[in-house]
């Protein structure tokens, strides 16, 4: 049995102070490096308490978790969920007659993910925040098997924040010349939401930052086909302009500026001589025809 003593968890005299709740791929609990599976009837309670960190009224928790039954039945279900936790040796929720909350000194992987996204969005990334981007994408689909209103709302809120952060990370990496990682971050966002324009823009910009115009045009073409197939619309013209090749006139003007006055003059003289030769040939053919 695991119990709470002085803010740390103990079992058979061993210090179990390192306690964490894992919502990614869970929920489950890690105590002292050991993974403990949460009883099926208590998983929603632990997830709810982890997402709504802080002291919660028992009636509010019961009503949120068991909306399809009356208050008395919901309160009974909550008592059963708490009892199952204690029976499994997972005493991570403390409760009194009126309220409940997680015990102190528990880490939650979701809070780490949200903290990373907040730092990136507010343009204050810390050491390592731009590394191991694949791990950050786990927050895009938290608690996939939970369909309660509170879970759907929390999942979408965290998903949107994570997508925004991935796009910003991609742009930061592009700016700092880490184009390969920028492409990777943008592709994570695109994979999660292919129709998201800002994610597609970040991917195209990352390709262009790496000098891969063809890849940028390919990404645009795929996005254009996807929009047309799913929504019967085209990407905005401003997005199309970023992957277009220079127009012929613009290219000629640019080439002329690069050649400089002497080269331009020589090219003009060559063109004039060609035109004169062509004219003389035409006149000769006319005279032969008359003879």
Mean pLDDT for 90-98 is: 92
Write the pLDDT tens digit of every residue in 246-269: 544 444 444 445 555 554 444 454
pLDDT at 213 over 80: yes
Q: Same topology for domains 3-104 and 110-241, yes or no?
A: no
Higher pLDDT, 139 or 262: 139
Separation CA 79–CA 221 (nearest Å): 56
In angstroms, the CA 100 to CA 58 distance is 6
pLDDT of residue 197: 96
Q: Report pLDDT digits (tens) over 22-62.
A: 999 889 999 888 999 999 999 999 999 999 988 999 999 99
- Tell me, what's the pLDDT at 278? 52
158 band by pLDDT with thresholds 50, 70 and 90? very high
Closest CA to 207 of 250, 174, 166, 233: 174
Assign 10 a pLDDT band (cuts: 50, 70, 90). very low
CA distance 290 to 117: 86
Global pTM? 0.75
Least confident window among 35-44, 125-134, 138-147, 265-274? 265-274
CATH, domain 3-104, list 1.10.10.10, 3.50.50.60, 3.40.190.10, 3.40.50.1820: 1.10.10.10
Kindly report the number of other CB atoms within 10 A of residue 55's CB atom: 14
- The domains of the chain are located at 3-104, 110-241
CATH class of the domain comprising 110-241: mainly alpha
């Amino acid at each position: 049995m695991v119990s709470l003593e002085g803010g740390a968890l103990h079992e058979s005299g061993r210090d179990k102070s390192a306690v964490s709740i894992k919502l990614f791929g869970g929920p489950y609990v890690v105590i002292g490096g050991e993974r403990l599976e949460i009883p099926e009837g208590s998983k929603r309670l632990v997830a709810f308490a982890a997402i709504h960190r802080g002291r919660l009224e028992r009636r509010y928790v019961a009503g949120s978790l068991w909306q399809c039954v009356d208050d008395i039945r919901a309160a009974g279900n909550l008592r059963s969920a708490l009892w199952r936790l204690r029976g499994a040796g997972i005493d991570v929720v403390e409760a009194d007659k009126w309220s409940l909350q997680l015990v102190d000194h528990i880490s939650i992987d979701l809070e780490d993910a949200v903290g990373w996204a907040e730092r990136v969005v507010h343009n204050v990334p810390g050491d390592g925040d731009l590394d191991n981007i694949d791990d950050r994408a786990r927050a895009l689909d938290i608690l996939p098997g939970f369909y309660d209103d509170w879970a759907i709302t929390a999942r979408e809120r965290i998903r949107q924040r994570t997508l925004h952060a991935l796009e910003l990370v991609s742009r930061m990496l592009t700016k700092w010349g880490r184009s390969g990682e920028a492409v990777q971050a943008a592709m994570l966002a695109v994979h999660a939401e292919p129709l998201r324009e800002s994610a597609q823009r970040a991917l195209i910009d990352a390709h262009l930052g790496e000098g891969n115009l063809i890849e940028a045009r390919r990404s645009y073409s795929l996005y254009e086909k996807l929009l047309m197939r799913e929504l019967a619309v085209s990407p905005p013209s401003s997005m199309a302009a970023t992957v277009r090749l220079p127009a012929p006139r613009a290219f000629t003007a640019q080439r002329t500026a690069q050649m400089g006055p002497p080269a331009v003059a020589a090219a003009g003289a060559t063109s004039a001589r060609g035109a004169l030769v062509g004219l003389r040939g035409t006149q000769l053919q006319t005279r032969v025809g008359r003879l």
